[in-house]
Amino acid sequence: MSIAVAQPRCAAYDVTANAVAHAEAVRAADARVVVFPEMSLTGYQLDAPPVFPDDERLAPIVAACAETGTLALVGAPVPGPHIGILAVTGDGARVAYGKVYLHSSEAVHFVPGEPAAIDVDGWRLGLAVCRDTGIPEHAARTLALGIDGYVAGVVHADHEAEVHGERARRVAADHGVWVATAAFAGPTGGGFDRTSGRSGIWSADGELVDETSAAPDEIARAVFTT
């Protein structure tokens, strides 16, 4: 199964503009699944209102997914309210996940979700958002759902780029699954004036398969194999 991690540039709070950037990334990725960073539709703005699955501003992403046959896993504040992942296809969007392990600043605005997985062409992908990836219990609880891969959208500061690989290799070593991490690149609000980029995909053996630089609008790709 082909998968990509994308790190489009982000305009704070501007779901309309960000949805267009997501659609462009979906078309450029040429992958069955495209993973986006934490709160990629709004930026890491904890006071951003929830994006509902039927929001007409998602139309560019839905159209891009219809054209390419892609499942886009998009970061956004979602009803709950959760820091969530919207699963977008050519048929529309649905809330697929809410972040489980919230920071204290996030807990003022959001409630925790539960571990979740999504099925794609016979593959079962466990979902995660940022801090989730640093809590070993999260991967263990998600693995209990019977996953083949662990995919996450994150936001990290520019000096934290190595965290992605460290966490991905730990998940691969502990559970023998592929890991894909989409990280923000460029400013994204919430105190993150400079973010890490360096989105990447790691094999079930913990080997880095592809990685972006720290620049916005780059995409890394891989093919998950058994």
What is the pLDDT, as a whole number, of residue 120? 97
Domain that holds residue 192: 2-210
Q: Is the confidence at residue 62, as pLDDT, over 90? A: yes
* pLDDT, tens only, 122-156: 999 999 999 999 999 999 999 999 999 999 999 99
Q: What percent of the chain has pLDDT over 70?
A: 100
Averaged pLDDT, 102-108: 96
Query: What is the per-residue pLDDT for 187?
Result: 79
How much is the average pLDDT of 8-22?
96
54: how many CB neighbours lie within 10 A of its CB?
Answer: 9
**CATH number, residue 105:** 3.60.110.10
- Per the domain annotation, does 224 fall within a domain? no
Q: Is 138 within the bounds of a domain? A: yes
Q: Which residues contact 195 (CB under 8 A, 6 or more apart)?
A: 155, 156, 157, 158, 183, 184, 185, 186, 187, 188, 214
Q: How far is Cα 199 from Cα 213, in angstroms, rounded to an integer?
A: 8
- Tell me if 101 is assigned to some domain: yes
Is a pLDDT exceeding 90 seen at residue 4?
yes
Which tens digits make up the pLDDT trace of 148-199?
999 999 999 888 889 989 999 999 999 999 999 999 998 787 777 788 899 9
| Residue 220 counted as domain residue | no
Residue 38 inside a domain? The answer is yes
Q: Phi and psi for 25 in degrees, rounded to 5? A: -65, -40
What mean pLDDT is predicted for residues 81-94?
Answer: 98
SS3 call for 50: coil
Q: What is the tally of structural domains in the chain?
A: 1
